[in-house]
Amino acid sequence: MTSHLAWQDRKNTLYSPTQLLKNAQTLLELTQMTWRLLPDYLAFYKASFHPSEIDQQDLLTELKGLLAN
């Protein structure tokens, strides 16, 4: 679908060096984001994982302080 739309709008997307650079930068950012999030995402599916086992008391205390102000 996206490739079809890019082909229809090829004058503005495929032949423009600035747009190609923006597209490459966006692709790089999405790839980096995926690689950063992948370990945490896969850890969620481990058989021994349960969210309540992670101590988040410090985070809750910080958020309560922010909400109180």
Q: How far apart are the C-alpha atoms of 14 and 2, rounded to whole Å?
A: 13
Domain ranges of the chain: 2-49
The string of pLDDT tens digits covering residues 32-66 is 999 999 998 888 888 887 777 777 888 899 999 99
pTM score of the predicted model:
0.51
Please determine, for residue 7, whether its predicted confidence score (pLDDT) is greater than 90: no
Residues in the chain, overall count? 69
Query: What's the pLDDT at 56?
Result: 82
Residue 53's pLDDT is 73
pLDDT in tens, 14-36: 778 888 899 899 999 999 999 99
pLDDT at position 23: 86
